[in-house]
Structure 1
Amino acid sequence: MSQQEADTSLMLEFALQAFQAQNFQLASDIYGRQLQEQRAGGVDWALLLRRAECLAYSGNLQGACDLYQRAAVHRKVGADQLKTLISCLADGIRTREGLPHAQGESKWGILSCKGCRDFLWEPVTLVCGHTYCKKCLEDYKGKDQCELCRVTLDQGDAGHQFKVNVVLSNILCKWFPKEVQARKLRQEGNALFKEGKLQEALGKYNQAIDIVSCDHLLYSNRSMIHFSLKAYECALQDAETACRLQPCWVKSHLMKAKALTSLGKTDYALREFLFCIALDTDNKTAKLEAQKLLLTLLNPENCQEGLPDLLQVIPHPFRVKGNVDPLSLAMPCSNLQRLNKVNLEKEILPMVSEHKVSSDCNTGKESFRSPGNNSIWQVSVAETTIPSKCISLKRKLSSDETEKSKLTVVPSKIQRRADVPVTDKADNVISVSPYVDSSDLDCSLCMRLMYEPVTTPCGHTYCLKCLERCLDHNPKCPLCKEDLCEYLAKRTFCKTEMMEELIGNYFPEELNERKCVYEEEIAELSNLNHNVPIFVCTMAYPTVPCPLHIFEPCYRLMIRRCMETGTKQFGMCIGDTVKGFADYGCMLEIRNVEFFADGRSVVDSIGRRRFKVIQHSQRDGYNTADIEYIEDEKVQGEDYKELIRLHDAVYDQAYNWFNSLKPQLRSRILSHFGPMPDKDSDLQINPNGPAWCWWILAVLPLESRAQLPFLAMTSLKDRLTSIKRVLLFMRRSRPR
């Protein structure tokens, strides 16, 4: 290898390293010097294309185009080799315009499908709380999980028999009857299109557009039908209308590009394909078509005087930010302008000003001449922005008291081009029912505005608390009686997001009132002195664990409320044939709750404070009481010393008695109540006295009526004396 070849190889290695380090300018310079040194011989086309790629990545699109064109003249470049240039052109558009998500923001806002982002049609709410069109769910490939949150779906059988959300469906039919009718016609048209009945499908779409003329999808889909019928001019017109209604909808720009290609307007089509790629970088169709078209423009057979100015491929911000394209089709390339060191960004404004005819400062309107047919049309500067949401629901108080809960719907008009024919019937305005009533969102169980709405797999929506109470009694839907055992077993009652947003946005005052009522109820339930829930069952003692099996509906509700309020406490009393429950009891604190599939639960609780019942009462099927807490009286001096001597003696007596039990019995006691607590260093530090006293009382085989007086005692001395007597009796009565 000669020295020159070695130097060349080394420089190319440096260029490759610079490219990998994304120092594209350095790599381009190295490749450029190597090409200059090879002027005497033949051109290394692979090296030239590598330099063109570096120039494109470094932002020098003009220089890159020159090199690609040079290679094209000698047929040394293919469509696949233009990927980098196409990608860089699209990146420039995306960066300059600050383009949003490929689909843009749905004009329907809250009432849009989470999948297609279009107006909801046959809404289905999943167990995770997200709502989609039924058709979107059926067509979605990953049917085993939600597209948004990826939660596994357990609805219906293996085929997922999705049930329509009844409340949402009724709301859409009442609030937007025309849109619902148009969507139905669209579905029918799509079915006919798939069957190959193009004329019948076109008729359905014509009817739909007569009803609603501001739906970009109607125009986009009708454009596809026209395209299939080879009516390319009609396809182009519909695609342009769809682009104006939803400027960042990729599908409409793609249809426009295809129509332009079929009409032979190659440079215009390339402009649209690049815009599609800028919106959706993964759009393979747009990429492939853009590469083919760019290669066609680079081909010397199509460039009699040079390459069309690629500046005109880059959209003007006015189209995106103002949502109206003032030049209809792209400005015509005078097909034969050379790309020789032209600053791309400096050419953007002249593209529009070149076609401006006049400007009226008084009216705020500017006139433009369409390059295709020289017709003049006007755009109101103040009206060029289309709202991202086509509807706006605002509150309007009626003079009549009975109308206070109603809302007036004020639809937003959509700006349209004067040169695009739009039917007079639709007037390009979303039409809705004149009034929206908050009663449309009432729970069918409590007949109040839904609070924390939850939708069951069968499609019915209720307040979360209302549904839980119903399922306590019967694991079936309160309305359709469909079995909800599996739904109950999961216990993942996720709130329906769309219903919450509807209520929060359109009925804020009613929601605040409903929330205040709920908070008042929670505050009342949180009071641990008045209307304290009472579980009438067994004897409970302070510091002693008390596991419970909950299966009755009233106590399911009681436990759930204790958890919701955050107190996690309820009272425990033994039964009384006269009063219903005893006058003394112990507060239990819930440490854990384990739910079963059928609604039953096991509650792990432990005793806390003792109380005396002041008044007996009931609430929603379970007992309640007004209570006051009781504590041991404290002693001092000689009385305290005597109390210590008595305490130590009784403790030893209890310890010896427990150890004298049979091993099997001791093991059962230890597994249920735990080990016997140690003696306290300070007998009066706990208001209920030493913990071991309550432990031994729970272990001793006494009837509930015999145990009850110990709870009422406020003297530790009296309690120890009574325990001593019971232990003596137990020792004497033990069989020998």
Structure 2
Amino acid sequence: MSPSHTNEVSTAPIPTPGPIGGEKLSVHAGHLVLPPEKVRQVVRLIQCPICSFPLREPYTLPCGKSLCRGCVPATHLRLNISYPATANRLQGFQCPFPDCLKEHAVGDCSSDVTLNKVLTAVESELTTRKEAALAGDLTTYVIVKNEWEEAGVPSLRETETTSRLLPGGRLLATFMLAQRGELKHDAEVTFGGAHPTADQAESDNTVLAHVQEAARTEMECQVCYALFYEPVTTPCGHTFCRPCLQRVLDHAECCPVCRHALSIGPIVNRDACPSNELLTKIIDSFWADQLDCRRQAVLAESLRNGNSGYDIAIFVCALSFPSMPTLIHVYEPRYRLMVRRALERDRMFGMVLHQRDGLRQFGTILRIENIEFFPDGRSLIETVGVSRFRILEHKTGDDGYVVANIQKINDISFADEEELEAVETGRRRRDSNRVTPGRASSDSALPAMVRSTRRFPTTIVEIKTTPTSELMDFALDFVQRMQAQRVRWLTAQILTIYGECPRNPALFPWWFANTLPVKDSEKYRLLGTTSVRERLKICCAWILEWERNMQW
């Protein structure tokens, strides 16, 4: 390298750091100055809340919080869980964060790919700056504040204040203190001197600017290639903007990067699947202005895709269910126009059951799969159910059909589904453990076939305490018996339209509602439910009613 080029590199302008947490940096003696609390905020972003060391192989939990892989608690066998009961959900652990403390399934947790890349880049930059500081003369006196004094509470025990003279400016010295394990995650710090020296301020600005630059390269969604907006980390460890992931999962229920199977309900539901807390904090801290621009862009896009300010057009006709086909004969001029507009956009519209007064609250979003036009303008469309919704407000537009603002109805997460089952079946299992010896011997004397059917519920009360897997077994047993009896509602023609009976508990209730001759008012109850277990209980209640009233 030529001497002239060496001089050019050494005098290259230092990039100006952006605002921290949306606040502008103060100026002292002609230098931008990071306040002590902001210095501490930056270092805290890369510390594990459990061990307080810089995060190593960070895992992001279903509650949105992150910790080192080595800080994940020991696992245990989970009890009273029969659905979904996949191999990776049989083991779990209690969340170590006090504001959660829920039981997390091992299958819901994995190494956070984005966070790993971000923290690796940031720590690499800080390590480079640390090595340069060790070779220089700049030092900073860091003092860890007493937690009792900070809270204004007198301590009954003598505590020694941690103070260290470390190389570099304030930011780098605080990072080194955390790296040495001498700075608790929640602790605050102060520094020697009322204001940083010019060299300390310059060091802080240089380190912060390079840290922001290093982190920014890993902060783009792999769907929209823009800064993360409401980052959601999937169980496979990949992160996307929540709106981007929602659009992807409307078409395929798998991760866009690794094709790992995902459940759409929990992912798009903010309550069931919170945003990645640490990534959100990093973005809020470093790029508040860019985040505001992203927020405005997402809002503008949602308005462009609407129906004159409303979310979706509504076809008022019949009951439809997710994942199930619906064949519609379109002949009214207003619905011809509605279907044509749907074809020009995303091929989707809402379907709600007709009623005399007002509009039903719940419905299903349908996607047009195929369409056949007739010479007189009529059409026959084949659709499939995508998701359910609740109507928030609606109006009849100038073109004659209803448009509405809706809220999608999502199922609770697998973790909440398992918790619901554990609570409802726990009492039954405890009661079964108190069976008297005489009762046990009398049961064992029953014929094997009778004993095998005793697990099936015979009353509504028993349905409520039956494990989810046994509810499914009960329903499948009923369908098999009805097929053997060649009932009219399970003909070959019906099975051609709706398919064979699914063994997936998530799909079965929708198929059952389409085939069993039950009143629409009963089937409509399924649309407002938020768990597989609740829907199976409704279906099993129908079966008990059928058994009592064979004239159905």
Fold similarity call, TM over 0.5: no
Would you tell me which structure has more strand in proportion to its own residues? Answer: 2
Higher gyration radius (CA): 1
Task: Kindly indicate which of the two structures has a greater share of residues assigned to helix.
Answer: 1
Highest RCO, 1 vs 2 (Cα 8 Å, sep ≥ 6): 2
**Shorter-chain-normalised TM-score: which range?**
0.3 to 0.5
TM-score, normalised via structure 2 length: 0.40
Q: TM-score scaled to structure 1, two decimals?
A: 0.31
